[in-house]
Amino acid sequence: MRSSGPSRLLPLLLAVVLGAAPALVPSPTQAAVRPTVTIRVSDDRVTEGARLIFSGKVTRKSVGGRVLLQAHTSGGWSKVARSRVTTSKTYRLATTAETQRTVYRAVFRGTRTVAKQRSAPVLVAVEAAPSTDPPVEPPTDPPTDPPTEPPTDPPTDPVMTVSEAQALILQDTNDFRVANGKPPLLLMPELTAIAQGWSEHMAETDTYEHNPGYFVDYPPGWTQGAENIAAFHKPQDVVQVWIDSGLHRDNLLGDYTHIGIGYGYDTTSTWTRYYTQNFARYEHP
């Protein structure tokens, strides 16, 4: 989530940063050049068992160096995934959310010319998955054996058009605002063009991050602005995902008058669906 005003821009991280971490001490064979290691998480509020994607950058001559993803538990820090720095000095790591692992950090293992370094930790709120325990009373009839052959028609996931998804997200957003005593937002074509362009950009480039200059193309006259993004979730579920996330919920209920909505879809990308909401307040009707 990101919010700003025209006179002061305050970028917000996707996950809660617990604080800066001290640098690891390099070995005598390493140069004293220290990189900067950044980290962000695909979603900072998930259900146990959900897939988490961590990504970031490592500065200096870090290409090819190994990056470890570590999680903190009662027993201390432990490795849960590893990757290497790409030619663009970025990395991507994946793991499965667990309730006992909620604090993560990335550790760059160093190269011949770049010292070891680690990122600041990030916090992920992990909710317990719904219970799948069987009922206390046994069923009256014994269960039947499963079929030996898989179904010929697997479940389908119908794809909404952009306009259908935008209309649904607008309706769900305004229903939530009205239920909380806020006036509905007006869909503004200029803001929607910004949001749609960014959603398509994330889908086409297989990236998940805020638009760093979303407010640059806002029509003149705005006094407040904010942005929500999300990925993976179905259009009928995404507003509830934002509602369940404190900072995104604040944007949904913010003192805004207009909104733009974007929906990008690409089955070859990591998250398939990408969403953007751009909020703005205009004093004129």
> Residue 137 — very low, low, confident or very high, per pLDDT cuts 50/70/90?
very low
Digit-coded pLDDT (tens) for 150-208: 333 333 456 789 999 999 999 999 999 999 999 999 999 999 999 999 999 999 999 99
Minimal CA–CA distance to 41: which of 88, 86, 75, 1?
1
For the chain, how big is the Rg over CA atoms in Å?
22
Digit-coded pLDDT (tens) for 251-274: 999 999 999 999 999 989 888 899
- What distance, in Å, lies between the first and last C-alpha atoms of the chain? 26
Give the residues across from 273 on adjacent strands: 265
Query: When comparing pLDDT for 124 and 250, which is higher?
Result: 250
Digit-coded pLDDT (tens) for 37-95: 899 888 888 788 888 889 999 998 888 889 989 888 766 788 888 889 898 889 998 88
**What's the rounded mean pLDDT across residues 123-142?**
52
Q: Quick one: pLDDT at residue 129?
A: 63
